[in-house]
Amino acid sequence: MVTGDAAYIKKINRSLIIRKIVKEGMISRADLSKATDLTRATISAQAADLLEEGLIVETQLEHYSVGRKPIMLSLNGQAGYALGIDLDYGQISFTLSDLLGSPVSSIVIKLNTTDYSEILHLLIEQIKKFETNYTDSRYGIVGVVIAIHGLVTKDEVVHYVPRLAWNNINLKDDLQKEIGISVYLENNANLCSFAERVFVHHETDNLLCATLYSGIGIGLMMNSEFFRGHDGYAGEAGHMIVVPGGRSCKCGNKGCWEKYASESSIFEYLSENRQIENVTYEHIQKWLEEGDEEVHGLMEQSIYYLSIGLNNMINIYNPDVLVLDGELLRMYPDSLNKIKANLNSSISHYRELLISSIGKKSCVLGACALAIKHFLDVPTLNLPYEV
């Protein structure tokens, strides 16, 4: 027998038990034994450990018509907190959740700089504030996950962020020198796809999420894992060329998908064309309601180019579920059916195409969920989502 086998098996069993408790919300020891195919003795021993650690709690069902009231086990959501951070151009969003993924506190800080040292200082300062303000739990803040709108290597080094002009930045190490909390970096689109998988599409093995806000990013979940590619840069489909020789992009190419189908491309056009410095969603909503022909035309054109790129993604990856995360699609009447009408190839296969029900919160919620997954050390995570 190899040394450490018993410890390894115990770890696997623990992960299986925690995952099932989280998924079911509440479950008895007897049902847990049936669901995991583990003996009742194993369940009892593991449950005793988890109770002592404060990770789970016991609840007796009040309304139970037959026999003795069972003791139910559930995750102790108040045992700790997860901090998700969306580091975007112009602002940083912070959301703190409990261990069940329910938001406890959220703030947005506007950025007037792209300077790395200034932003690093701001991150350290804000993380320490959260750490100080939320010490009322056994485990405190269990992890910090930061969403990066650019390329992140498999070693979690920020390789390139176009809008911040950052190259090969070791943000993770710089943060961990200053704070005593585990820090993880992940691409923002990956975190959006993770949020969709964790909070909404629990049983989906292959999910593709397209984020349309400040560009176009593709987050891919395959067999409940991120599809990263060789160096970790997979999913940069926003720089797929859909119009050869078209509009110039900061990546160095011309005619990139995100220059024609992202929300930022619509905002930039309207801002320049109408001489309004900061076009908002409220502006566009008003123009759509007034029947503004130019804005309606822009949306139709965006949907046309969005469909071209989605057709390519479907044929390359054959996903089970495609989720589109964009506020303008939620505003524009019948946008989903218009996209579906353009996806009429007989060889394109997918089961479901929909607009995200989580929306702009998906990035930070996905970050919180990833911190929880790392802390609980489970292969997959299913959490309830409250609208």
Which of 36, 58, 75 is the C-terminal boundary of a domain? Answer: 75
Q: Do residues 85 and 189 share a domain?
A: yes
Q: How confident is the model at residue 332 (pLDDT cuts 50, 70, 90)?
A: very high
Q: Do residues 211 and 353 share a domain?
A: yes
pTM above 0.85?
Answer: yes
Domain of residue 106, residue span: 80-193+362-376
Q: Do residues 127 and 109 share a domain?
A: yes
Report how far apart, in Å, the C-alpha atoms of 184 and of each of 85, 174, 181, 343 are: 10, 12, 10, 37
Asked if residue 255 has pLDDT above 90, the reply is yes
The model's pLDDT over 181-210, given as tens digits with 9 standing for 90+, comes to 999 999 999 999 999 999 998 889 899 999
160 beta partners: 151, 167
Q: Do residues 33 and 58 share a domain?
A: yes
Q: Give the CATH number of the domain where residue 41 resides.
A: 1.10.10.10
Q: Do residues 208 and 184 share a domain?
A: no
Q: How confident is the model at residue 1 (pLDDT cuts 50, 70, 90)?
A: very low
Q: Do residues 272 and 252 share a domain?
A: yes
Q: Does residue 382 form part of some domain?
A: no
The model's pLDDT over 68-99, given as tens digits with 9 standing for 90+, comes to 778 999 999 999 999 999 999 999 999 999 99
Q: Do residues 289 and 336 share a domain?
A: yes
Q: Does residue 387 form part of some domain?
A: no
Q: Does residue 386 form part of some domain?
A: no
Out of 3-17, 36-50, 78-92, 146-160, pick the least confident: 3-17
Q: Do residues 101 and 189 share a domain?
A: yes
Per the structure, how many domains does the chain have? Answer: 3
Which pLDDT belongs to residue 386?
Answer: 75
Which pLDDT belongs to residue 233?
Answer: 85
Q: Give the CATH number of the domain where residue 228 resides.
A: 3.30.420.40
Q: Do residues 126 and 15 share a domain?
A: no
Which pLDDT belongs to residue 2?
Answer: 42
